[in-house]
Structure 1
Amino acid sequence: MSVQNSLVWIKDRSLLLSVLFGLLSALALLIVKMQAVLSYSPDISGSEASGIAAIQLLLDGQDIYTDPEKAPFRLTQYTPLYFTIVSFLVKIVGWTGIDVHKIYLASRLVSNLFTLATVSIAGYFIYRVTKQKIAALLTGLVLFHVLSFWFLTTSRPDSLLVLLTTLFIVTIYYAFENNDQKLWFLAIFTGVSAFFVKQSGAILPISVGVFWLIQRDFKMFLKLTAFGILTFGLYLVILPINTVELFFLNIVGGVANSASWGWFYDWTLQYWLLQFAPLMVLNALVSAYTLHYRPTGFHLFLVIASVLFFLFATSTAFKIGAGVGYYQDYLIVAVIQLALAFSYKSDFTALKTGFVKSGMALFMTFAFLHCSLYVFMKYKSGMFRNFEALYIEDRKVATYLLEQKNLKPTDYVYICNSENFQGSFLSLFLFKNNLIPFSDLVYLADQNGTFNYDEFRRIVDEKGIRFVISPKGKAPANILDYDFANTLKYSSTMGSYDIYEANKR
């Protein structure tokens, strides 16, 4: 076969070849992710410990939404549906809040199952609608690789959020296809459920409301709004929110951080715009085409949803603590929209040449390779660190305090900040006693004036912290930079920790 014939053969089968490469890449990616799931790494998904702590509290029968200005000074940033599901499953197998690694394992497995369900449903949906296997496979592969590349669906509520977003889009398609009003109510239920997974899920039911307002069907808008409010109220009753006031105080105050362009660039722009800009450009082109040629039904809804999702994600991604995860819902809508648009024979005929298809296939192949290698390199760097030894050491320190020092559930422990995840497991082993579980949230809330932490200062002055644990050789210090002064005395050293005790003399 000549070189020219070989190139023609490759061009004609470029999309199929990209699918085959994507399947191999996805398999390798899944193996790497499963290794990370089983590892003792304290964070494979971004702020993973905050979710683990919420699950621990539910297992222990404690409230996860408490007054942030009162001890223990903890903030639960996210709504509780994901934590409730994982804690329910953990209870079934008989694990308790002190089984830290097992809770990590449970959360990671559940999240990965949710993510796999997401990409499978999206791909199967495209196949059902278009009957094109390659389009269906590419849809699932693109979503799987990009979601894995962003890390945030590996052990976080985001995994359930993307699943609900996919089910939301599929439900709305069949609501149009079957002209079934009941499915619109199911879509609203799914959207409200998404809010109770993560606050950003609120954009789902909002997009439905905007659609019916644009359609000027105010009766339908009011009916769906009333049903959404009823569903919202039902969730407030059945989910573990403690009180409505404390619930909103946490989920609003917990994310009320200042904005930062530098943070947006580091944690969003360079992981999104600079690498997946073609996806956004195609989304804009397809949306413009839809508004001009087919501004009705499901395709119009996809345009409305993609615009709203993108604007909402961008407006919130500047917040300190935010990340590229806010674009996950937009990613799902955009990929489904593009898969449908380029699968219809009558659409974009000028862009369906062999040359353009080959370009798309090449781009996706490089994207698959890029995502897989990036995830591998990130997790590989953690695999060479002996996190299991850190886990064992932290457990020994916790056992020492609980058994030999007779640490009671009402005693407070403060764990000083350190580098390289030191103390991260200790914080979870002592979740009942930890005075400030997530110091970065408290620091930002104090800096922004969101909450007042005078009670912490009072507890320090009154020597109300029984133990302060500091990295070996470093003087105890707290996140609020309030001087411990003479409230502490050195007690002992265990491994890489110095333990200080309240100076009651």
Structure 2
Amino acid sequence: MEKINTDFVYPWVKKAFILAVIGMFFLLALTIFFQSDLRGVESNVIYSIQLALENNGSLYNSPEKPPFNITQYAPLYYILNDGLISLLSIETDNFFLIRGITRIVSVLLMLLSLFILIDTLQNVIGINRNSSLIISMTYSILSFPWFNISRPDVLILFFFILSIRSILLFQKSKKSNTAFLLGVFMALGVLSKQTMGGYIISFGLYMIIAKQWRLACFSAISFVSTLVLMCGLIHILGYDLTYLYQNIVKGIDNGTSFFAAWKAYKNYFAYFGLFSLVFVLLSIISLKNWKHVKTNHNLLFLITISYTVAVFSFFSALKVGSAINYFNELLLCLLIFMMSILESYNILKKKLFLIGFMLFGISIAINHTFHYAAPLLLNLKSMNSNVKNESDIPEIITFLESNLGDSYFYSDDRTIAQSFPQRCVLFPTDIHNITYNRKVFDYSFFEEWARENLIFIIVSRDRKKLYDIDIKKYYSLKIKYQNYNLYQLTSYNKE
């Protein structure tokens, strides 16, 4: 059996696997040119970057004051893109180009994370180069990279990998600089997205169990110092953090739903159920020899963070709006732990194992192709054609360019709203709909303000109310489009 795998099956599977990886990165390259949200959630981030491009102090406004926007995540990803796009002198209303730049940044960060994972597996854990490449490339497929496009999730993964690598290096060298670097990476992770806080708790729990007081002390000092210095730098650069809590804590208060989470759970077990079962079995086998685990700090660390990150990930997935990407860091933990164990038993040198691993990656790549290839290729075709856009949106944008001036408007269409980022209100609309229904913020001021200051409302033709505002009571229908009605404030006199 081994002879057949080595001489015939393995080379062909490896070639198919390489093609699958190339195909996936080709699809990733196509996403850079995709003209709308790939998963429906990018525009929230792009809009906040647009605000920062116009004025750094506008990144975190009060959701209860004009223009009533919400920036849901910690600032680092926004600032990184704001700085780069400002250097390129791109206009704030050119959100298609801004989206493309943020996607390029995300892809580059994903590639950098991949190289760090390869280095960690090869030079820190000691897995041979061929196996490290196969495992890392498989992870790049399994982690559903589409969920990291134009989102701070890509920075979380980047700093999470660096943090794990720092702890593993500290176990080997006991050098203080790796402990200090751990604190830096944890702080930058927290400044990228709030979920890093849960992972820091996992690291801290390990340090307590393993009594790694030196690591805990140095990394804590570094963490606090980096956080203070970065917040100071952010303030110096003009980013106002006064309303940070209202945006990144209250602004993500989507509520919880086991019914909604079940879809994420179902997808996780459908894709990674067997993978997780193998992890559980290997961890139980390892924990049976507790005396060995206590003295093997790498093994203790990987088991601890795998289980704690699992608890955190499954709990986080209860939030409305969760998806399979909530398990990306968990998948990374399971992968590193399993590869470490299998390497110790020399199983990674077996061609049969690598064949199974590559076939798993190929199956997920086929799934990616099935879901994303058609829309990405159709988008590329439409970009190269001269077909006229017959939707209402270009006509509405032209009207606003001529009539909006310094006034405000509301539209539940993202393209219209993001064409005038400083003038649109209640964006992102889907998030505001949730926070309004859950009474997270006080919208009474908006309703009072809108009756005097919200000049245009552009909504679908069947919509009658904007929250508690009766549109027809305060607004008159100005233009009826095919899919939208454009209303103008009755008391508004442009002259």
Per the alignment, residue 420 of structure 1 pairs with none
Deviation at 1:15, TM superposition (A): 5.2
Deviation at 1:100, TM superposition (A): 1.2
1:43 paired with 2:32, answer no
Contact 1:263 1:318 (C-alpha < 8 Å) held by counterparts: yes
Contact 2:310 2:330 (C-alpha < 8 Å) held by counterparts: yes
Deviation at 1:331, TM superposition (A): 1.6
What amino acid is the match of 2:373?
F
Per the alignment, residue 195 of structure 2 pairs with 200
Counterpart Cα distance in 1 of 2:231 and 2:150: 24
Deviation at 1:46, TM superposition (A): 4.1
Per the alignment, residue 52 of structure 1 pairs with 46
Deviation at 1:263, TM superposition (A): 1.1
Deviation at 1:362, TM superposition (A): 3.7
2:60 to 57, 62, 65: 65
Per the alignment, residue 490 of structure 2 pairs with 503
Distance 1:356 1:175, change over 3 A: closer
Per the alignment, residue 135 of structure 2 pairs with 139
Per the alignment, residue 323 of structure 2 pairs with 323
1:79 to 74, 77, 80: 74
- The more displaced of 102-111 and 42-51 is 42-51
Per the alignment, residue 253 of structure 2 pairs with 256
What amino acid is the match of 2:344?
Y
Contact 1:71 1:455 (C-alpha < 8 Å) held by counterparts: no
1:89 paired with 2:88, answer no
What amino acid is the match of 1:265?
W
Distance 1:277 1:381, change over 3 A: farther
Distance 1:92 1:9, change over 3 A: same
1:26 paired with 2:14, answer no
1:455 paired with 2:454, answer no
Distance 1:381 1:67, change over 3 A: same
1:367 paired with 2:367, answer no
What amino acid is the match of 1:331?
L
Per the alignment, residue 405 of structure 2 pairs with 407
Counterpart Cα distance in 2 of 1:400 and 1:326: 41
What amino acid is the match of 2:306?
S
Distance 1:95 1:354, change over 3 A: closer
Deviation at 1:161, TM superposition (A): 1.5
CA deviations on 1:410-437 (whole Å, 9 max, x unpaired) are x22011x4xxxxx221110111111111
SS in 2 for 1:39: coil
Contact 1:29 1:372 (C-alpha < 8 Å) held by counterparts: yes
1:491 paired with 2:478, answer yes
Deviation at 1:219, TM superposition (A): 5.7
**TM-score for both structures, normalised by structure 2:** 0.88
**TM-score for both structures, normalised by structure 1:** 0.87
Contact 1:194 1:201 (C-alpha < 8 Å) held by counterparts: yes
1:123 paired with 2:118, answer yes
Deviation at 1:383, TM superposition (A): 6.3
What amino acid is the match of 1:310?
A
SS in 2 for 1:343: helix
Distance 1:358 1:244, change over 3 A: closer
1:430 to 415, 420, 429: 420
- The more displaced of 53-62 and 324-333 is 324-333
Distance 1:52 1:251, change over 3 A: same
Deviation at 1:89, TM superposition (A): 0.8
Contact 2:179 2:215 (C-alpha < 8 Å) held by counterparts: no
Contact 2:464 2:472 (C-alpha < 8 Å) held by counterparts: no
- The more displaced of 382-391 and 201-210 is 382-391
What amino acid is the match of 1:263?
A
Contact 1:172 1:183 (C-alpha < 8 Å) held by counterparts: yes
Distance 1:32 1:363, change over 3 A: closer
CA deviations on 1:440-466 (whole Å, 9 max, x unpaired) are 211221222221111122124x33211
What amino acid is the match of 2:325?
G
Distance 1:12 1:373, change over 3 A: farther
Per the alignment, residue 272 of structure 1 pairs with 268
What amino acid is the match of 1:440?
D
CA deviations on 1:20-39 (whole Å, 9 max, x unpaired) are 32211111122122222112
SS in 2 for 1:211: helix
What amino acid is the match of 1:465?
L
What amino acid is the match of 1:214?
I
Identity %: 19
Contact 2:46 2:98 (C-alpha < 8 Å) held by counterparts: yes
SS in 1 for 2:252: coil
Deviation at 1:45, TM superposition (A): 4.2
Contact 1:48 1:155 (C-alpha < 8 Å) held by counterparts: yes
SS in 2 for 1:97: coil
Counterpart Cα distance in 1 of 2:114 and 2:345: 24
Deviation at 1:231, TM superposition (A): 2.1
Per the alignment, residue 467 of structure 1 pairs with 456
Q: Which ranges of structure 2 fall in alignment gaps of 5 or more residues?
A: none
Contact 1:488 1:502 (C-alpha < 8 Å) held by counterparts: yes
Deviation at 1:242, TM superposition (A): 5.0
Contact 2:255 2:319 (C-alpha < 8 Å) held by counterparts: yes
Counterpart Cα distance in 2 of 1:251 and 1:425: 24
Per the alignment, residue 398 of structure 1 pairs with 397
Distance 1:200 1:277, change over 3 A: same
Counterpart Cα distance in 2 of 1:130 and 1:16: 24
Counterpart Cα distance in 2 of 1:103 and 1:359: 40
Deviation at 1:72, TM superposition (A): 1.7
CA deviations on 1:60-118 (whole Å, 9 max, x unpaired) are 01422121122222111111101111111111111121111110110111111111221
Counterpart Cα distance in 1 of 2:284 and 2:24: 35
Distance 1:45 1:171, change over 3 A: farther
SS in 2 for 1:321: coil
CA RMSD of aligned residues (A): 2.9
Counterpart Cα distance in 1 of 2:239 and 2:475: 34
SS in 2 for 1:19: helix
Equivalent residues, number: 482
Counterpart Cα distance in 2 of 1:176 and 1:228: 19
